[in-house]
Amino acid sequence: MKPSCNGIDTATLQATVDAVRSRPSLARFRFRVRNRWVSGSRSQGWITEFFGAGQEHLHRRGDMVLHADQPAVLVGGDEAPAPIEHLLNALAACLTSSLVQAAAREGISLTAVESAVECDVDLLASMGLPRGATPKIRVMMRVKGEAAAAELEALVDGSRNASPVYDIITNGVPVTIAINTG
């Protein structure tokens, strides 16, 4: 096996998979984000640390910040991507990273992965009106690499099962909200 494939250290990847296979609890992660309202529809998110592979970790770049806003037509300032746009990018990034890691595990060199994601969503409920149609998401993925088309298609298919964001968005997950007004 090559020491690196698709920019991923394949020896470390294989060691990680082996470690998790022998001790599955290492695959339990807890990701955390803090978010603060700025003004109007704007908010700022901070990402600092997470738990995984049996211990706490700090992200090596320190606090990473994400900005969100609503577009002007939704009475926002349009200073940053809308929350749904963040969600769509999370999906594309997760599918892409899952695909690239799966390819690296199989020793398939990729040369390009591009995706276009779109979401049809009815915002009636956002305006306090009765709920509209269920949202729908479409992903168009273009994948090039040193493998037959059928092999690349199988990789994309596999990346659905490997992507936690795809899992969350397609199957839905329980979300509890605790409120503190103190």
Cβ atoms within 10 Å, residue 61: 8
* Dihedral of the alpha carbons of 157, 162, 168, 169, in degrees to the nearest 10: -30
User: Residue 108 interacts with a second copy (CB under 8 A)?
Assistant: no
Applying the rule CB under 8 A, the residues between 59 and 98 that interact with a second copy are: 59-61, 64, 66, 68-76, 78-98
- Smallest separation (angstroms) from a second copy to the CB of 43: 5
> Which of 23, 107, 108, 170 touches a second copy (CB under 8 A)?
170
* φ, ψ (nearest 5 deg) of residue 18: -65, -45
Q: Give 52's contacts (C-beta < 8 A, 6+ positions apart).
A: 26, 28, 29, 30
- Smallest separation (angstroms) from a second copy to the CB of 25: 9
User: Residue 109 interacts with a second copy (CB under 8 A)?
Assistant: no
Q: Is-contact 157 149, C-beta < 8 A?
A: no
Nearer of residues 1 and 74 to a second copy, judged by Cβ? 74
User: Residue 23 interacts with a second copy (CB under 8 A)?
Assistant: no
User: Residue 107 interacts with a second copy (CB under 8 A)?
Assistant: no
